Structure 1
Amino acid sequence: MRRNRLTGVLGTVALVAALAACSTDDSIDDTGAEGGESAAAEGGAEEAESDGSEFFSQADMDEQDEQRSATFEGDEATPWLQYIDGPMTDTSEFATDQPMKTCFANASISNPWRQTGWITMNQQLEQLQEEGVISEMETRDAEDNDDTQIADIDYFISEGNCDVFIISPNSTAAITPAVERACETGKPVIVFDRGVQTDCATTFIHPIGGYAWGIDTAEFLVDNLEEGDKVVALRILPGVDVLETRWGAAEQIFEENGIEAVDYFTGADPAEIKKILTDELTQGEVQGVWMDAGDGAVAAIEAFEDQGMDYPVMTGEDEMSFLRKWEETGLTGLAPVYSNFQWRTPLLAVQKIAAGEEIPTEWVLPQTPITEEERGDYLEANDGMPDGHYAKFGGEDLPGYPDVWQERIIP
């Protein structure tokens, strides 16, 4: 189907960034939003009512659309070091030949996406410790709680012996003042994974963003469906910025191209996902399934199998459970990503800061979906990894590969 292309002026990239996805792998604890969002869905599955208008910016959507085809600086073989050309931060004042103590305030490791990244980050740490770049990384886990993370950041500030701060915010607005207090120490501050409402950090590291996810997935569905076809959109929960922008972009594209889309909040519950799709299938045909995160993708496919219906055109995520089910069924699919390899980048930023090198003020990393043509390569490369593992984790050259990821060794 021919789609209407997005148009618009280049906008300012929003500092508010987040991410979300989960796993249906029962061997991994918890199924919170991928970035560790503390918000929780209530009341199980329900037809979505939030319009997400407070999160939507056409200028930001247009910019992320442009960034999808941008030229990234750096070596494609090390995407965790690539970035889109833009303002750079001078870090020469922090240059040192002594190992730096890193203090990391982490939102959580409460789901498989964050666990995969946390493993990768610790293997990168091991390498940089051996090279004498980092002396230690003192980490405090907020367990998805804003108040805990604020206290964690204030603890690091009062402790007074951090050479550099790394912060993966639990939420955007609530953590902003604490990040500003860290900046006031005069030490370098690295924010990654989600953003905050201040530009005081030395660098803000993130993949392109939620709009890019929404554009990639909706355009794929439009290209493989016909005008008037029905898509069921499965959304984890309302009020999370990156989830709202994923859906905001997708909804606009569906409307522009005559796709009938109905969206539901699922609470990331596989049973509720099955119930939603079973109910929809008893009312008529469903040609497509769109997800704002990969959690429950296998359950969604199984709903069609249980009803003896043809597989839908579907978008999931680069979690291994979806890639394997996609391969097994032969359905028409796409695996969007919110690049898990970003967990390496903050520590590599510390290495550059210690060397006094310039680093991107906003470090925008590549975010490229896995297509059917690439799926087999990623399945082969990740053979032996658990279902909750993410294909684009980017740790193949790090110490402990592949054992620590296969055995899910969580530090």
Structure 2
Amino acid sequence: MRSRTLKGAVVASAAALALLTSCSTDSSLDDPDAAGDPGGGESSSSEEWFVQADFDEQMEQMDATFEGDESEPWLQYIDGDMTDTSEFADDAGGKKVCFANASISNPWRQTGWITMNQQLEVLQESGVVSEMETRDAQDDDNTQIDDIDYFISEGNCDAFIISPNSTAALTPAVERACETGKPVVVFDRGVETDCATTFIHPIGGYAWGIATANFLSENLSEGDKVVALRILPGVDVLETRWAAAEKIFEENGIEAVDYFTGADPAEIKKIITDELAGGEVQGVWMDAGDGAVAAIEAFEDAGVDYPVMTGEDEMSFLRKWEDTGLNGLAPVYSNFQWRTPLLAVEKIFAGEEVPAEWVLPQVPITEGERADYLAANEGMPDGHYAKFGGEDLPGYPEVWQDRVIP
């Protein structure tokens, strides 16, 4: 399965892959226009990114039975091949973990980073982990490659955790980490090798696209118009979100026009305003929730009915959704996955099997669940993600409320 999910990545240019910033958005890029006009032009077709086998597989996984306790979704997984980790079993004391992180340059990654560090605190107190040395690549492939090579040459890492900045560029560095003979945990984005001890991720971009496009199609009529607001081109998990959605819109006779926005609220508002000036817009689709409020405000400014809309589980969208009463859905790219790599390390050093590909649940928030998530996350900042999964960790809720970023 891992090799198939990466087919789309190899068609992107090296420059586009270097912009693979996160599974959410990143508005901090110095020159977003270099990515291929994320500043507002209508995009080209996503056919080159669509892989039918991956679409079918992720659609099946959306209805799969997950192993493990539903109250701990960060430990759940879809049954499949397991990795024997008995060779790493060691009860001699706390181990040093070396984490090569792509970045913490956007709210999704910041929320996860906070959660990861609170999980680290638990494992340090229990004696499983002595320390986690982290190097932040700040969204740069070459920096992250150097970071991984630094850890390798340093020679005192008991385990590697890697959240790759991009797929193809980081593959050789991940393979070099594997060649050390130490366990390697890859999460969030994949690479083009199966050498890691485990690869951790939610179901994926197709699942996002399927859930959101089906929701819009079911709540709209044939011939209705949807404006799709996309962040960046060349980002595999974002491209597959749109590839799946575009397929479903076409099958249901929904007129969908898509734009790259660079996650700029002003650009988002301009796009919607211009579309409304040219006619009715019945739906809005987003490949990430940043800027959702700006899109909604454009409808308010125009004095027209709210659209049927999909955003994300970021608190700003959930709150605006509640305030407006619009017909919406909040897809997720499960932020709680940031806990899982450290818990995987715990299992590995206990000699327990771990999934070779650790596929985590990815379940949208519906209107019927919205109030519960709003109540559970009361007091959290707008950039917080509702399904962060840190309620049982030390420092809750203050660390997340105060955005204490290590």
TM range (shorter): over 0.9
Does 2:56 align with 1:56?
no
Deviation at 1:50, TM superposition (A): 3.1
Measure how far apart 1:31 and its partner are: 2.3
User: After superposition, where does 1:106-255 map in structure 2 within 5 Å?
Assistant: 106-255=101-250
Q: In structure 2, do the counterparts of structure 1 residues 12 and 44 end up closer, same or farther at CA, with 3 Å as the change threshold? A: closer
Q: Deviations over 1:18-50 (max 9, x none)?
A: 75323xxxxxxx6259xxxx9964555333333
Partner letter of residue 161 of structure 1?
N
| Correspondences of 1:351-370 after superposition (within 5 Å) | 351-370=346-365
Q: C-alpha distance in 1, partners of 2:175/2:380?
A: 39
Show the counterpart of 2:100.
105
Matched, 1:21 2:24: yes
| Alpha-carbon distance in 2 for matches of 1:115, 1:245 | 23
Post-superposition offset of 1:14: 1.5
Q: Distance in 2 between matches of 1:262 and 1:357?
A: 48
What is residue 394 of structure 1 aligned with on the other side?
Answer: 389
Task: Look up the SS of the partner of 1:373 in the other structure.
Answer: helix
1:91 and 2:85 equivalent? yes
Uncovered stretches (5+) of structure 2, i.e. residues with no partner: 10-19
Q: Is the 8 A contact 2:23 2:188 kept in 1?
A: no
- Per the alignment, in what secondary structure is the counterpart of residue 87 of structure 2? helix
Secondary structure in structure 2 of the residue aligned to 1:281 = helix
Q: Deviations over 1:54-92 (max 9, x none)?
A: 322010000000000000000000000000000000000
Moved more, 332-341 or 46-55: 46-55
Indicate if the aligned counterparts of 1:107 and 1:143 stay in contact, CA closer than 8 A. Answer: yes
DSSP-derived class of the 1:237 partner: coil
With the length of structure 2 as denominator, give the TM-score of the two structures.
0.94
Q: Distance in 1 between matches of 2:133 and 2:3?
A: 34
Compute the displacement of 1:51 (Å): 2.3
- Contact 2:40–2:267 (Cα < 8 Å) also in 1: no
Could you tell me which runs of 5 or more consecutive residues in structure 1 were left unpaired when the two chains were aligned: 1-9, 23-29
Residues 120 and 343 in structure 1, CA contact (< 8 A), matched pair in contact too: yes
Indicate which of 268, 272, 277 corresponds to 1:273: 268
Does the residue aligned with 1:54 lie in a helix, a strand or coil? helix
Distance change in 2, residues 1:11/1:147 (3 Å): closer
**2:196 partner amino acid:** A
The Cα RMSD (Å) is: 1.8
Is the contact made by 2:36 and 2:233 (CA closer than 8 Å) also made in structure 1? no
Q: Give the TM-score normalised by structure 1.
A: 0.92
Structure 2 letter corresponding to 1:53: E
In 2, Cα distance between the equivalents of 1:39 and 1:401?
A: 39
Structure 1 residue aligned with 2:69, among 63, 68, 75?
75
Task: Report how far residue 13 of structure 1 moved.
Answer: 5.0
- Structure with greater helix percent: 2
Contact 1:274 1:303 in 2 (8 A): yes
Residue 47 of structure 2 aligns to a residue whose secondary structure is coil
The residue type paired with residue 356 of structure 1 is G
Aligned pairs, number = 392
* Cα distance in 1, alignment partners of residues 154 and 2 from structure 2: 40
Deviation of 1:15 (Å):
4.6
- Structure 1 residue 12: deviation in Å? 6.8
8 A Cα contact 1:385 1:406, kept in partner: yes
Structure 1 residue 159: Cα displacement: 0.4
Distance between the aligned counterparts of 2:301 and 2:45, measured in 1?
A: 32
1:300 to 273, 279, 295: 295
